[in-house]
Amino acid sequence: MERSDFSLSVPGDVCAPAGFRAAGLHCGIKKQKPDLALLYSEEPTTTAAAVFTTNRVQAAPVRYCRELMAGGRARAIVVNSGNANACTGAQGMRDAREMASLAAGALSLEPSEVLVASTGIIGVPLRMEPLREGIPRAARELERTGDAAAEAILTTDRFPKTASARVQVGGGTVTIGGMAKGAGMIHPKMATTLGFLTTDARIGAEGLQRALRTAIDRSFNRITVDGETSTNDSVFLLASGAADAPALEGEEALGRFTEALTGVAERLARMVPLDGEGATRLVRVRVEGARSADEARAGAYRVANSLLVKTALRGGDPNWGRVMAALGDAGIEIEEEKTDIWIDDLPLVRNGLGVSGSVEKGRELLQAEDREEAVDLRIALNLGTGEASVWTCDLGEEYVRINVAYN
């Protein structure tokens, strides 16, 4: 993940960039675990960007933030876990608004400067009492590390997910930080992906939104766990402007910033399919030579979401027949006799036919005990120049067991 022009090895989280403080604590929406996070920018001129779920059923905090984001400004984000405030009707909207007001009051901000995110159970009204006590407490506990916040946004994740990067751009150095929660592998009522990115770059709302959209298209929009889309998925980006660097302007500077932002977003996004019971392998599905980038992406997603491909990967079986059948069902142009498939550097299929002996070699390769790196499943359609990669994971019995048992 190291790139020539920026460093991802900077340890840090949402508080790595200058001007941010964060808090995380238990207020009582969950029984015991941390369930409330607050992220705050000290700079009055902070700009904001966000991308939201494409699900037509949208949780109250998503609806609330969509309206607010028209202005491109925000100073704080208040987040609860344990309850998604989704499918909660008019009461849900009132509750999202009250969450913003509580944070605004505690931070001496306008309510319109506070964004809201929720994750957890669907269809159950949010209990506001714990938040009325917890949000002011979180405001008092703000600190210069995002550790507690990164814990408090989790639902069933096994580990907190943070990343940061520093980039030389436009004659100065700016820092980017982030945290995320995972999705979908375990408790689907809590299957939301939330991402929170911060930077101390000074950058206008329009450029910020463009940079975030590009970064998300290349990261959070390139992962899949089970093909499900949540009612609450959101990624936010706040830019404090507190870095000792000139404002970011012009295509080149914005391009460099976007690339570093993408690096942080990719690092966070790839932690998602790796987290959660049931996932043991990170898998990159790459389609090359499609008629278009859109067809490459559709093909990669179809393979990455195929139950049969994912269970084969879990079993360490390079079952290319399942891959061919999934490709054939992707609604894209494919010519069987032109198709090649590799796992890592091992050719499995050449011109649509199995390569002799490759299944045995592929099995050794996938089942190697010391294997740690992601599996690279590469497909060449040899029809054009479209290409795309999607990150997925294998799928095991735990996924089903937990999703069956969850009530």
CB of 43 or CB of 317, closer to a copy of itself? 317
CB of 84 or CB of 165, closer to a copy of itself? 84
Least distance from a copy of itself to the Cβ atom of residue 231, Å: 5
CB of 270 or CB of 322, closer to a copy of itself? 322
Q: Which two tokens stand for residue 118?
A: 């929720």
Query: Which of 19, 207, 273, 396 is the binder for a copy of itself (CB under 8 A)?
Result: 396
Q: Which of 145, 175, 192, 198 is catalytic?
A: 192
Query: Which of 98, 141, 277, 333 is the binder for a copy of itself (CB under 8 A)?
Result: 333
Least distance from a copy of itself to the Cβ atom of residue 223, Å: 16
Where do we find the tokens 């120049």? 385
Are the C-beta atoms of 180 and 161 separated by less than 8 Å?
A: yes
Query: Which of 326, 346, 366, 379 is the binder for a copy of itself (CB under 8 A)?
Result: 326
Least distance from a copy of itself to the Cβ atom of residue 343, Å: 15
- Look up 192 and say whether it is catalytic: yes
Q: Using the rule CB under 8 A, is 290 a contact of a copy of itself?
A: no
Q: Read off φ and ψ for residue 322, nearest 5 degrees.
A: -65, -35
Least distance from a copy of itself to the Cβ atom of residue 13, Å: 29
Q: For residue 387, give the H/E element and its range.
A: strand 386-393
CA distance 65 to 153: 17
Nearest by Cα to 311 from 326, 298, 297:
326
Q: Using the rule CB under 8 A, is 369 a contact of a copy of itself?
A: no
Rounded (10°) angle between helices 60-68 and 89-107:
60
Distances (CA, A) of 359 to 131, 312, 314, 342, 362: 55, 12, 15, 11, 5
Least distance from a copy of itself to the Cβ atom of residue 346, Å: 15
**Residue 161-200 contact track with a copy of itself, rule CB under 8 A, x = bound:** ---------------------------xx-x---------
Q: Using the rule CB under 8 A, is 128 a contact of a copy of itself?
A: no
Please give the size of the binding site for a copy of itself, defined by CB under 8 A.
63
Q: Using the rule CB under 8 A, is 1 a contact of a copy of itself?
A: no
Q: Using the rule CB under 8 A, is 274 a contact of a copy of itself?
A: no
**Region for residue 82 given its phi and psi (left: phi exceeds 0; alpha: psi -120 to 50; beta: otherwise):** left
Are the C-beta atoms of 313 and 360 separated by less than 8 Å?
A: no
Q: Using the rule CB under 8 A, is 283 a contact of a copy of itself?
A: no
Q: Using the rule CB under 8 A, is 328 a contact of a copy of itself?
A: yes
Q: Read off φ and ψ for residue 144, nearest 5 degrees.
A: -90, 30
CA distance 407 to 405: 6
CB of 47 or CB of 224, closer to a copy of itself? 224
Q: Which residues contact 108 (CB under 8 A, 6 or more apart)?
A: none
Helices (H) and strands (E) in the chain, counts: 11, 16
CA distance 96 to 62: 9
CA distance 324 to 336: 8
Give contact residues for a copy of itself (rule: CB under 8 A): 54-58, 86-89, 121-124, 188-189, 191, 226-231, 306-308, 311-312, 314-315, 317, 319-322, 324-330, 332-334, 336-337, 349, 351-354, 363, 395-397, 399-401, 403-407
Instruction: Please list the active-site residues.
Output: 192
